[in-house]
A and B are shown apart, each in its own frame.
Chain A
Amino acid sequence: MSVVDRRFPATPARLTEIRAAVREAAFLLGLPEATAGDVVLAVDEACQNIIRHAYCGECGDIVVQIGRDGPHLVVRLIDFAPPVDVSRIAPRPIEELRPGGLGTHFIREVMDDVSFLTPPDGAGNLLQMTKRIGEP
């Protein structure tokens, strides 16, 4: 069950609100401060990637769902952009100066599993990120 299930416009200016929603979810789930900070960063980076690479500057929304499944935190980000080519998403060497890549590196560092799942009808992509947080 989600403690946060909200829809946001996919623009950089709204990332502050998305981070606040993640903080709220982390509080409701009783996550330690350090874990909360990691999850905020991972969601921020993933949303940034959706804005940049899925919507490519076009208007759209991101649905943010955060909840617990047993010992795991489960974050689902749903967008309504054309399906992304998952094979092209990869971390890049940190010395490279181009945008992107680094965010994916962060996400994989702080989350235990990151997967694209079959999106619900009408959606474009469903990114699921999970992290072990212990039993409730």
Chain B
Amino acid sequence: MEIRQETIGDAVVLIPVARVDSATAKAFEAQVLAAVNTGAPRIVVDFSALDYISSAGLRVVLVGAKMTRAPRRFVLCAMKPHIREVFDVSGFARILTITPDRAAALVA
């Protein structure tokens, strides 16, 4: 799968493209863990280019969030409404930091 990566200030921004399901979750996990392991103070996952996520993808997000110890930040942003719904239904929205857009994620 395509996962774009950008560095903005002290943040590493990951942009998964199209879909994260059980066929693509492994590649997504490898890149999330690599980003976490850079030691960057802030990891941002920008969902603006993502159209579909299943539980396999949610699990990767949770792994990334748990491995990013405070005071480092792991922030999700720019979810389309149906992606946000998956986070709401799973209860993940309550335990993760989610912002409406990337600008907010870079300061959340």
Contacts and interface: CB of A to CB of B under 8 A. Distances in A.
A12 B55 contact: no
Given A48-B54, A99-B56, A102-B59, A109 B22 contact: no
Contact of B23 (A15, A45, A105, A110): A15
A3 interface: no
B21 A15 contact: yes
A13 interface: yes
A118 interface: no
A105 B52 CA distance: 17
A9 B86 CA distance: 26
Nearest to A101: B55
A102 B55 contact: yes
Given A12-B23, A15-B22, A16-B23, A48 B56 contact: yes
Contacts of A51: 22
A37 B95 CA distance: 23
B82 A34 contact: yes
B95 A95 contact: yes
Interface residues of A, number: 25
A94 B91 contact: yes
A106 B89 contact: yes
B19 A45 contact: no
B90 A37 contact: no
Contacts of A97: 59, 62-63, 66
Given A41-B86, A94-B91, A106 B55 contact: yes
B22, B23, B63, B90: residue with the most chain A Cβ atoms closer than 10 Å: B22
A95 B62 CA distance: 8
Contacts of A33: 82
A20 B95 CA distance: 31
Contacts of A102: 55, 58-59, 90
Given A34-B82, A97-B59, A97-B62, A12 B89 contact: no
A131 interface: no
Interface of B: 19, 21-23, 52, 54-56, 58-59, 62-63, 66, 82, 85-86, 89-92, 95
12 contacts: A12-B23, A15-B21, A44-B54, A48-B54, A48-B55, A94-B91, A94-B92, A94-B95, A95-B95, A99-B56, A106-B86, A110-B89
